[in-house]
Chain A
């Protein structure tokens, strides 16, 4: 079975400080991993994705994530938070097990303090 766990429901950082949003996954198959951001009343926006190429993935808006197979993790980081980064972030796993399946993490709400 596949699963995704976002370890923090809420994360609060000060503007200019690093961001770390944690995601662990479980999959019996080679997964594709995604991070999406969702601002209020907007649809999901893709930040980055891992599909078995380089393990360090760079995304938009300065975000990056590292796929660590040994730790089954795909944590999202950003060196310096901006106020505009305040939003909901979702870690998503997709696997093709002869039937394509997508599993969402529960989401992490990022607060950025001035």
Chain B
């Protein structure tokens, strides 16, 4: 089945530094990628939607200059948390939609990245 590889699974960084999270679709082309964040016991919050080759669409309240999303190819999307602060500590997860049409499409989730900013 479809697999999305998300790295790193855990990262600890110092306040003020930047962190890049990668999501790769291993055996399919991800036409659309979704990025979420989640705090403990809270629901996932959609941060942005990115389509290959175009700019990401950010949800209201999400700073696009702080959370840089790049979807330069059909198999790779990255989320960069710039100038990270402790309040950015969270669980980040990506989800990819494959290129199927009609009813023949699917969504696959990465395994998530736990970011801790100290």
Residues of A in contact with B (beta carbons under 8 Å apart): 32, 34, 36, 38, 40-41, 43-44, 46, 49, 51, 88, 90, 92, 94, 96, 99-102, 104, 107, 109, 111
Contact = CB atoms under 8 A, between A and B. Distances in A.
Given A40-B105, A43-B36, A109-B103, A102 B93 contact: yes
Residue among A88, A92, A96, A102 facing the most chain B CB atoms (10 A cut-off):
A102
Interface in B35-80: 36, 38, 40-41, 43-44, 46, 49, 59
Nearest to B38: A102
A100 B34 CA distance: 20
Residue among A34, A88, A94, A96 facing the most chain B CB atoms (10 A cut-off):
A94
A36 B95 CA distance: 13
A50 to B, nearest CB: 11
17 contacts: A34-B44, A36-B44, A40-B105, A41-B32, A41-B97, A43-B46, A44-B36, A44-B46, A46-B43, A92-B44, A94-B41, A96-B41, A99-B10, A102-B112, A107-B106, A107-B107, A111-B103
A107 B96 CA distance: 13
A107 B36 CA distance: 17
Interface of B: 10, 32, 34, 36, 38, 40-41, 43-44, 46, 49, 59, 91, 93, 95, 97, 103, 105-107, 109, 112, 114
Contacts of B46: 43-44
B36 A101 contact: no
B109 A49 contact: no
Given A44-B95, A100-B114, 8 more contacts: A34-B43, A34-B44, A36-B44, A43-B59, A46-B43, A100-B38, A102-B38, A104-B109
A38 B114 contact: no
B109 to A, nearest CB: 5
A111 B103 CA distance: 10
